[in-house]
Each structure stands twice: as C-alpha cells, then as structure tokens.
C-alpha cells in the first residue's frame, strides 16, 4: 500500500531531476567539462570553419551607448590647397544648375570650431556625387577618420543624401571601426558658411551614434 502511493512521487522526482539536468546542460558555464575537453578541437577547427556563433560578451562588447559628436567640416574647393577636387563629370563651367554628374573626392578637415585654424579632430575622406537633376542633391560616401583623443584611429562610415541647400540635412551612419564597431546612427548637417565666389563651405555636424 505504502509502496504503491510512493510510486507517482518517485516518477515526479525523477522527472524533476532529469529536467534540472537538461537545464544545466544548456548553460555554457556549467557544462565547462565538455567544453574544456573539446577546446583543442575548437581551436584546431577554427581556421577551417566558415562561421560560428558568438555572444557579444565573448568579444568584450558590453553595453551599447549613445554618443553625440559635434564638429565643423571644411570643404575647401578654391585656392591653392583645395581639400575637395573634382574627379569626374562635366567641367563645372559646363555643368547644369544642379551640377548633375559631378563627382568630387574629399579629404576635408573636421575641427572643434568653425574657424579654419580651429583644432583639428580628424578628416572626412571619401566622395560626394551630384545625383539629382532637380536640385543640388549630393550622394555622400565617406568616412570620418578621427585623429584626436580616445577616438584617434576610429572611423565612422556615412552613406546618404545631402540636399546641400536645405537648412538641415540628415545622413545615415552605416558603420564604424575601432571604438565605433557596430556603429549606427545619423548625422545632421547645417551650413555654417558658404562662399558663393570660391564654393568653399563650412558645415556644422551633429552626429548621434549608437556603439559599444
Ligand atoms: C562646354 O560647352 C561648350 C559651349 O556650350 C561646348 O562647346 C563644349 O563642347 C562643352 N564641353 C563639354 C566637355 O561638354
Ligand atoms: C593618434 O594615433 C597615431 C597612431 O597611433 C599617433 O601617431 C598619433 O600621435 C596619435 N595622435 C594623438 C593626438 O594622440
């Protein structure tokens, strides 16, 4: 009689034990014995394996944060030392009013303040192309290459549309390197100064970027 009433309890207990064991085996740190024995095969296989799953923590990416960067971009087209030069498209004098087809390579200084001699934070390196036939609409493809402080050596990649004569233009940040690995966000541009004679422009940038 007593053994009969114990039987369902024993089955429940053994199910519980089995359940707990299954849970434990799914926790990586608890199944260390199995991983430590397979470590050598993992490292040996590493060079032959096309893909594997990692957690962000394994690569030391802890918490995603939002940073705000503020700087001025100097697009110097005229003078003896231009930082923006035309590399393709019709001659400027022959171009349409929207400069459609013009491609410019840039290595523009990024500075703390709007003055040309303001402290340099980095460069904007890449291209912009006039991609609109109805207004001045640039396609920007460039990297911000930072050279100061903790961001020295880190980059942000921008790919977006810049309607240069609009008050505020927004361009996506599509990635980054160094401290900006896994970056995404947006950059807002406002023209600070534009010289109609030379074509030189100083543009204020506010960049909002998520990164680790
Ligand atoms: C520039 O315009 C002039 C005058 O309209 C024309 O003769 C010339 O062929 C054009 N040049 C180019 C490269 O389109
Ligand atoms: C930035 O990094 C480069 C390369 O490591 C170094 O030569 C340079 O001095 C650094 N600049 C600043 C301002 O720390």
For the chain, how long is the longest CA-to-CA vector? 105
Residue nearest to atom 4 of ligand 2 (CA): 153
pLDDT per residue as tens digits for the range 37-65: 344 455 556 678 899 999 988 888 989 99
Of 3.60.40.10, 2.60.34.30, 3.40.50.11890, 2.40.480.10, the CATH number of 65-211 is: 2.40.480.10
CA dist 84 and 76 (Å) reads 6
pLDDT per residue as tens digits for the range 195-212: 989 999 999 999 999 999
Percent above pLDDT 90 for the chain: 69
pTM comes to: 0.77
| CB distance 90 to ligand 1 below 6 Å | yes
| Residues 23-30: contacts with CB under 8 Å, at least 24 apart | none
Residue nearest to atom 5 of ligand 1 (CA): 94
What's the pLDDT score for residue 76? 97
């Amino acid at each position: 009689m007593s053994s009969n009433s114990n039987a369902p309890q024993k089955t429940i207990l053994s199910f519980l034990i089995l359940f707990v064991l299954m849970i434990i085996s799914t926790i990586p740190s608890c199944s260390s014995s199995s991983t430590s024995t397979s470590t050598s095969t993992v490292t040996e296989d590493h060079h032959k394996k096309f893909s594997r799953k990692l957690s962000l923590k394994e690569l030391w990416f802890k918490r995603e944060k939002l940073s705000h960067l503020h700087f001025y971009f100097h697009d110097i087209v005229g003078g003896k030392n231009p930082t923006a030069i035309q590399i393709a498209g019709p001659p400027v004098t022959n171009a349409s009013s929207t400069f459609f087809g013009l491609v410019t390579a840039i290595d523009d200084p990024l500075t703390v303040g709007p003055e040309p001699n303001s402290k340099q934070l980095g460069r904007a390196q890449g291209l912009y192309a006039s991609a609109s036939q109805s207004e001045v609409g640039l396609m920007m493809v460039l990297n911000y290459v930072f050279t100061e402080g903790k961001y020295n050596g880190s980059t942000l990649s921008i790919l977006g549309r810049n309607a240069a004569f609009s008050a505020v233009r927004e361009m996506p940040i599509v990635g980054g390197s160094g401290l900006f690995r896994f970056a995404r966000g947006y950059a807002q541009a406002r023209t600070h100064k534009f010289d109609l004679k030379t074509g030189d422009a100083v543009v204020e940038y506010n960049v909002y970027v998520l990164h680790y």
